[in-house]
Copies of this chain bind each other. A is one copy, B any other.
Amino acid sequence: MTDEYPVSAPVNLHEYEVAARALLPPAVYGFFAGGAEDEVTLRANRVAFEHWRLLPRVLRAIREPDLATTVLGQSISLPVMLTPLAYQRLVHAEGELAAARAARTAGTIFTLSTSASSTIEDVAAQTDQWWFQLYVQREREVTRSLVQRAEAAGAGALVITVDFPVLGRRESDLRYGFTVPERANVVDRPLAEGATHSWALGWDDLEWIASLSQLPIVLKGILAAEDAVLAIEHGARGIVVSNHGGRQLDSAVAALDALPAIVAAVESQAEIYLDGGIRRGVDVLKALALGARAVLLGRPFVWGLTVRGEAGVAHVLELLRAEIAMAMTLSGCAHIEGVTRALVVPEGVVERR
């Protein structure tokens, strides 16, 4: 026991960000940490969790809560996946490979970004639990090749990002003159050459993309319930409620705020995941209580990767797992199915029900 505040290992995800920030060049930290314009939505993603409080139940004789669940039929050991994030080699030499291994060790899914700094095949060699995130490319052949390589390499699902018709304006990057690195991405040509993403993707294009493989389709970046309904009509099996981590349209609704209306509209016709703002186990519980099947973790695992590579990502996931287990035990939830809408109430005086 010491009276001085020790600067040892991070004890939570917040502290991983502090540690990573101290290690990274400001431009790289800014690239990952930053949001669009005034970062209203970036902050809103966190604040939205404060709108809700947990109403725990007691005396439920819980010994060891069971955190396991499934996503699109695949088992995961905790309701947390890794979200697709670009250029992970900017923060650690092993980049995506280290993160993928850590996810596998933790028993969950790594999602490989089209803008990754490692190839599809290299990532697939690290883990059999991964999904592929697709930025639809301007050239159809490039898109076809990506999807087919992902399927051949064993991806479990195709996550199509739909909130990226154009690169959002992140002023941190403008200030530092940050540009994405050449030859960093899986498409084997530098994205920095220009907007190779298609900025005019429409619902009709989805049909063609779906025809390219047998992979189940997940749409990432939906906030309006009307779009969630359209997603199902177009065959989506999963929906990631997300505003791209506050990096695209500033002032967009917070991801968690958008969740309940989407859950209500979808009526179990697809699985709903939440992406944005997860920092604590209780955040995961709130998202699940409001109808998400699982959440996607973003920046925090990059901070773990920055600080200690694979071990750092693994530690981030284990910290979160421990917090979820603790929160479930303290809330009276023995299983993930026990995390229901009754667990959360709006901040303020609890209404009788």
Contact = CB atoms under 8 A, between A and B. Distances in A.
A330 B54 contact: no
Nearest to A325: B166
A194 interface: no
B1 A330 contact: no
Report, as a range, how many residues of chain A touch the other chain: 35 or more
Given A5-B26, A5-B176, A349-B260, A248 B62 contact: no
A348 B257 contact: yes
Contacts of A177: 1-2, 6
A249 B176 contact: no
Contacts of A346: 349
Contacts of A227: 57-59
A261 B350 contact: yes
B330 A166 contact: yes
Most buried by B among A205, A223, A322, A350: A350
A224 to B, nearest CB: 5
B251 A53 contact: yes
A156 to B, nearest CB: 23
Interface in A273-304: 280, 282, 286
A86 to B, nearest CB: 16
A249 B56 contact: yes
A177 B1 CA distance: 5
A341 interface: no
Contacts of A350: 223, 225, 253, 257-258, 260-261
A168 B204 CA distance: 51
A266 to B, nearest CB: 11
Interface stretch (A36-44, A77-85, A104-112, A183-191): A36-44
B224 A56 contact: yes
Interface in A30-81: 37-38, 40-41, 44, 48-63
A327 interface: yes
A309 interface: no
A162 interface: yes
A323 interface: yes
Contacts of A251: 49, 52-54, 280, 282, 286
A281 to B, nearest CB: 8
Contacts of A162: 58-59
Nearest to A49: B251
Contacts of A352: 225, 260-261, 264-265
Contacts of A143: none
Interface stretch (A117-125, A147-155, A195-203): A195-203
Nearest to A50: B40
A270 to B, nearest CB: 15
A351 interface: yes
A329 B165 contact: yes
A199 B162 CA distance: 45
Pairs A-B, 7 closest by C-beta atoms: A61-B202, A249-B330, A58-B162, A53-B253, A251-B282, A261-B352, A63-B200
18 contacts: A1-B179, A5-B176, A11-B171, A38-B280, A48-B349, A52-B251, A55-B224, A56-B249, A57-B226, A58-B224, A59-B162, A61-B204, A169-B323, A249-B330, A251-B282, A260-B352, A261-B353, A264-B352
